[in-house]
Amino acid sequence: MTLSLHAITPVPELGVLHCAGPDTLTFLQGQLSNDFALMRHNQARLAAFLSAKGRMQASFIAVRYGPHDVLLLAHTSILAAVQKRLSMFVLRAKVKITDASAQWQLHGALGNAALSTLQALQDSALESAPVPWQCVSNGDAQAGLPSPEAGADATQAHAPSWAVALYPAAGLPRALLIQPQGAALPEAVAALADPAQAAERAQQWAWSEVAAGIATISAPVVDLFVPQMLNYESVGGVNFKKGCYPGQEVVARSQFRGAIKRRAFLAHGQAVNLPKAGDEIYSADDLEQPCGTVAQVALSASTLPHPTEANKPQAFDAIVSIKTDAAEQALLIRSAVAASDAEAPSERLEPANPDIPVRLSKAPYPILEDL
């Protein structure tokens, strides 16, 4: 069986926070790395939520609908913590942040399926190649969303669907489809959602996320990266002209004083057990001090749809953040897992794999140079 590169699949690793209220845009403007004051109806943004030290606590794909509603899509492993932390800063602002994951379903579309999804929602032919973060909807942009408390039935009856154009993967268009829970897929792509290939499609989407070169913050890498370490300023995730937000001084200083010492690259290797987000990377010439960190990993497209046999090496791709002066060196990923309680009650870490050699390639988009 050949796995088509034109497919659509659920994206269960993302959850949805619904920000609602008259002060929603003002509140998000003061908390996240992108500009929400200028965000138009039916527009999407990539944004980061930072600590005071400029470290990423979360990454979001944000979609605005109506005058007072924004959906924030983030990794499910951090959703509850981020909801709690953002809510701490609401104070007197008229905005409520609710976990609305149960009201929405998310699908990733790849290849021709992405183009068909975008076209289906705007009900007209695409005039050109989709621009990343372009957003189309089948709803009335002046209307608001039903409250999450109204339940899935109200959301399905009254909420629109969106398709957000994402950065491509190895030249393949990609889009994220956001629909009310239970809504039917657009007719043009419904036939591509083959339940018999669900596992393979999920792996394929995971590969496309890595191949696009934009890491999603998950629990193992919270607080590890300033946005520039993952190239967020180069893919529309940071606005340097907006006002203050937590960590803004660190981000600006890194950019304008040439202090960016780490950048995101794609890494490629083979391993019996795949490395994980949060694993450290070492130069082969210095195994004492790590020079980088794995941000996101997936099986390589060359491995799909049939991963190799058990206990045989599998090709993988990863997004890694590396010190720029180490990028030309021979590099090793040193993966670690907690030993069993019987072996080590202290839960010390032991290597999960032998050191994994990797080769780097540049991120698949232009890098905004230090200013």
Structural domains of the chain ordered from first start? 7-197 (3.30.70.1400), 219-361 (2.40.30.160)
pLDDT band at 123 (very low <50, low <70, confident <90, very high): low
Average the pLDDT over 106-114 and give the result: 96
Asked if residue 158 has pLDDT above 90, the reply is: no
Q: Three-state DSSP class for 298?
A: strand
User: For the chain, how big is the Rg over CA atoms in Å?
Assistant: 21
For residues 54 and 48, is the Cβ–Cβ distance under 8 A? no
CA distance 132 to 302: 25
pLDDT band at 243 (very low <50, low <70, confident <90, very high): confident
CA distance 334 to 287: 9
CA distance 71 to 162: 11
Asked if residue 144 has pLDDT above 80, the reply is: no
Average the pLDDT over 350-356 and give the result: 69
**% of residues, the chain, pLDDT over 70:** 87
pTM metric for this prediction:
0.91
In terms of average pLDDT, the best of 128-142, 229-243, 296-310 is: 229-243
Q: How far is CA 78 from CA 242, 326, 361, in A?
A: 26, 30, 29
Instruction: Give per-residue pLDDT as tens, 6-48.
Output: 899 999 999 999 999 999 999 999 999 999 999 988 789 999 9
Instruction: Give per-residue pLDDT as tens, 172-216.
Output: 999 999 999 999 999 989 988 888 888 899 999 999 999 999 999
Average the pLDDT over 282-292 and give the result: 95
Q: 348 or 305: whose pLDDT is higher?
A: 305
Average the pLDDT over 324-348 and give the result: 69
Q: Which helix (H) or strand (E) holds 262?
A: strand 262-271
Q: What pLDDT sits at residue 308?
A: 57
CA atoms within 13 A on the CB side of 215: 38
CA distance 309 to 312: 6
